[in-house]
Every structure is written in structure tokens, then in C-alpha cells.
């Protein structure tokens, strides 16, 4: 097994299942931070000239902790888990598609190029971006519905199907479910940077090691995700703005592009507005990516052991069949000579 890549040991579907399982477990554990970062990213900073807020307006959060306590006060503890079903379906499907296509394109690239060394950092980023683009096209409707659910108040709360119907009816028909697709395709650089950095850090810090210890995988995942989040935070904020309801100041007029969202934020909040919610975003990213990669490594080890056991079992069965055939041939030989 030494020197073999995981793609050579585990089939693409096995790597995809391992990645999806890790993503679901990690996101379920830190889901409240996802709600908080989404709500912080969609709200518009108040100006001194704005009229005093009325009771009908949503609460304006001043910090991560204020957002958590306000959501609990308004909706109870369950408010921190609004939209979790759609979110987990989304992360499972997105990560399954991502890890599946990433392992496929990486294996094909290595086979076609006949390279004996791991792909370069630039190539890792390109392979990750290609896999991420394919995954986003098929899974973005779930992300749109989840973002809407996360920003719904207690009185507006709807299920996934009803929220999807609302998006279709209130915006551009079925294409409304693909709002933010361009931003999402640009944002494939986020997982590309994450997994590219993860692969490179792994090769530098743990060269030739097929399976990492849980804490090693956690630290590598956290480090790589931090780099990716800082680099892409303005695009993340713009994507959330595209997929949520437009702010009151736009009188219900939805944004048409992520550049329009970014211009709106800069005009109303300055350049730092593009980094709002970065606290819970990085915290969530650290925990999710660390837990994801830790769980993924354990799942991959289980698959390696399972496939090794299945190969040994199959080899034993073939050997038994060969022995039986040999014994039958030996017993039949005297009859033939007679």
C-alpha cells in the first residue's frame, strides 16, 4: 500500500461517500454558526440618518453573540436550526459531487499525463475548480432554498418545497432557483484553494503518509479553509446577497449580479462591508473543514480496510474454487485412464 494514492485504492464513489459523510457531520455540529453568518451577511448597516427602527423591522445584529441571543429570544433554540434539513441535503449532495468529480478528474489527469509525482499546486487548484463547477451546477437550487430559509423570521417560516415555490413565483420562474450561479462558479476557487492547500500542506508536512491521525487531518483542514475564506469572503457575501431577499431600501428589486451586490454594499457600508460576518464564517470554516477532513480520513481508512478484506475474501474464495477443481480433476483422472 505504501506509495499508492487513495484514488488508486478507493473508487471515486468511496471517496465521495467519505467526503459527503464528513461534511454532513461537521455542518450539523456547527449549523447555528451558519445561520448567524448568513444573517449578518444579508443585513445592511444602519446609518445615522436612517429613521428609528420599528417593531416590524428585523433585528439588526451587532455581533455574533448578539445574533445568537436575538435568534434564541425570537424563535427559541430551534431558530438556530432553521433550514437545517435543506442545508444538510445541500452539503451532502455538493460534497458528494465535488469529491466524486475531483477524484475522477485527478485520476484521469495523472493517467493521461503519466506523472509519477503529485500534481503541482496550480494544477491541484485547476482540478478542484473543474470539480467544483460541475458540483455547483447540479446543487445550487438547494443552496438558494436554504439561504432563504435561514433568513426567514418565525412568522415567515416555510418548508423546503414551499420556499422553493416562493422563489419560483416571486422572481424569474424556475431560473430563480439558480440565482447566484455565476457567483457560485467563481466561488469554486474556495474549495479549490482549500483542497489544493490541503494536498500541498499534507505533502510537505506528512510526505508519503496514506492516512493521517484525526488531529493532523483537523489541523490541516482548518489551516487550508482559513486561507480560502480570507481570500474569497467578498464573493461569499455577494453570493448570499444574491440568493436572499433584497434589502428594504431596494423596494423588493432583486440584485442581478454579484458585482451589483458588491457595489451596493460598498456604497452603503464601505469596503469593510464586504467582510461582514467573517468572524462566524472563519470559525465555522475552521470547525467544519477540520471536522470534515478528520471524519473523511477515518471513513477512507474504513473503506481501505473494507476493500482489503473483500479482496482477501475473494482471493480465498477463488483459491477454494481452484482447489476444488483440482481435486475433482485428480479424482476423475483414474476413471479416464481405466
Of 261, 220, 256, 255, whose CA–CA distance to 238 is shortest? 261
**What integer best gives the mean pLDDT of the chain?**
79
Q: Across residues 24-29, what is the average pLDDT? A: 87
Topology adopted by domain 6-337: Mitochondrial carrier fold (1.50.40)
Per-residue pLDDT, 335 = 52
Question: How confident is residue 1, by pLDDT bands cut at 50, 70 and 90?
Answer: very low
Residue 253 vs residue 116, higher pLDDT: 253
* Whole-number percent of the chain with pLDDT over 70: 88
Is the confidence at residue 49, as pLDDT, over 60?
no
Q: Across residues 140-165, what is the average pLDDT? A: 81
Measured CA to CA, the distance from residue 122 to residue 197 in angstroms comes to 10
Question: How confident is residue 53, by pLDDT bands cut at 50, 70 and 90?
Answer: low
Question: How confident is residue 3, by pLDDT bands cut at 50, 70 and 90?
Answer: very low
Q: Across residues 4-13, what is the average pLDDT? A: 66
**Most confident listed range (32-36, 50-54, 191-195):** 32-36
Is the confidence at residue 80, as pLDDT, over 80?
yes
Residue 182 vs residue 51, higher pLDDT: 182
Q: What is the pLDDT of residues 89-131, one digit of tens each?
A: 888 888 888 888 788 877 777 777 776 666 776 777 777 777 7
Residue 103 · residue 134 · CB < 8 Å: no
Residue 28 vs residue 2, higher pLDDT: 28
Question: How confident is residue 46, by pLDDT bands cut at 50, 70 and 90?
Answer: low
Measured CA to CA, the distance from residue 184 to residue 61 in angstroms comes to 26
Per-residue pLDDT, 5 = 56
Half-sphere exposure of 252 (CA within 13 A, CB side): 3
Q: Across residues 30-55, what is the average pLDDT? A: 74
Per-residue pLDDT, 326 = 75
Measured CA to CA, the distance from residue 119 to residue 4 in angstroms comes to 14
Per-residue pLDDT, 172 = 66
Per-residue pLDDT, 305 = 80
Question: How confident is residue 50, by pLDDT bands cut at 50, 70 and 90?
Answer: low
The pTM of the full predicted model, rounded to 2 decimals, is 0.58
Torsion over CA: 218, 220, 221, 222 (sign): positive
Per-residue pLDDT, 333 = 57
Q: Across residues 218-231, what is the average pLDDT? A: 83
Other Cβ atoms closer than 10 A to 172 = 13
Q: Which three cell numbers stand for residue 156?
A: 415567515
Q: What is the pLDDT of residues 158-194, one digit of tens each?
A: 878 888 888 888 766 777 788 777 777 777 777 778 8
Distance of CA 280 to the CA centre of its chain: 16
Amino acid at each position: 500500500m505504501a506509495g499508492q494514492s487513495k484514488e488508486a485504492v478507493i473508487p471515486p464513489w468511496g471517496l465521495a461517500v467519505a467526503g459527503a459523510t464528513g461534511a454532513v457531520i461537521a455542518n450539523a455540529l456547527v449549523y447555528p454558526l451558519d445561520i448567524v453568518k448568513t444573517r449578518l451577511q444579508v443585513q445592511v448597516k444602519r446609518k445615522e440618518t436612517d429613521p428609528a427602527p420599528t417593531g416590524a423591522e428585523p433585528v439588526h445584529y451587532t455581533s455574533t453573540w448578539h445574533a445568537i441571543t436575538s435568534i434564541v429570544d425570537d424563535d427559541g433554540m430551534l431558530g438556530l436550526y432553521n433550514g437545517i434539513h435543506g442545508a444538510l441535503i445541500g452539503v451532502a449532495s455538493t460534497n458528494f459531487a465535488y469529491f466524486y468529480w475531483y477524484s475522477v478528474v485527478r485520476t484521469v489527469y495523472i493517467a493521461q499525463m503519466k506523472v509519477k509525482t503529485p500534481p503541482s499546486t496550480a494544477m491541484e487548484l485547476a482540478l478542484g475548480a473543474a470539480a467544483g463547477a460541475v458540483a455547483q451546477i447540479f446543487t445550487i437550487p438547494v443552496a438558494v432554498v436554504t439561504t432563504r430559509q435561514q433568513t426567514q423570521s418565525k412568522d415567515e417560516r416555510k418548508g423546503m418545497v414551499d420556499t422553493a415555490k416562493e422563489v419560483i413565483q416571486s422572481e424569474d420562474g424556475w431560473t430563480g432557483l439558480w440565482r447566484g450561479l455565476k457567483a457560485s462558479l467563481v466561488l469554486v476557487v474556495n474549495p479549490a484553494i482549500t483542497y489544493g492547500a490541503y494536498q500541498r500542506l499534507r505533502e510537505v508536512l506528512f510526505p508519503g503518509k496514506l492516512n493521517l491521525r484525526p488531529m493532523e487531518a483537523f489541523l490541516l483542514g482548518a489551516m487550508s479553509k482559513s486561507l480560502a475564506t480570507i481570500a474569497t469572503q467578498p464573493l461569499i457575501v455577494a453570493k448570499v446577497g444574491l440568493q436572499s431577499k433584497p434589502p428594504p431600501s431596494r423596494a423588493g428589486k432583486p440584485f442581478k449580479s454579484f458585482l451589483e451586490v458588491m457595489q451596493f454594499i460598498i456604497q452603503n457600508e464601505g469596503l469593510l462591508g464586504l467582510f461582514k460576518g467573517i468572524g462566524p464564517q472563519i470559525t465555522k470554516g475552521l470547525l467544519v473543514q477540520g471536522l470534515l477532513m478528520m471524519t473523511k480520513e477515518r471513513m477512507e481508512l474504513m473503506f481501505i480496510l473494507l476493500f482489503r478484506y473483500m479482496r482477501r475474501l475473494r482471493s480465498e474464495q477463488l483459491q477454494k474454487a481452484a482447489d476444488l477443481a483440482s481435486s475433482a480433476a485428480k479424482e476423475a483422472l483414474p476413471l479416464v485412464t481405466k
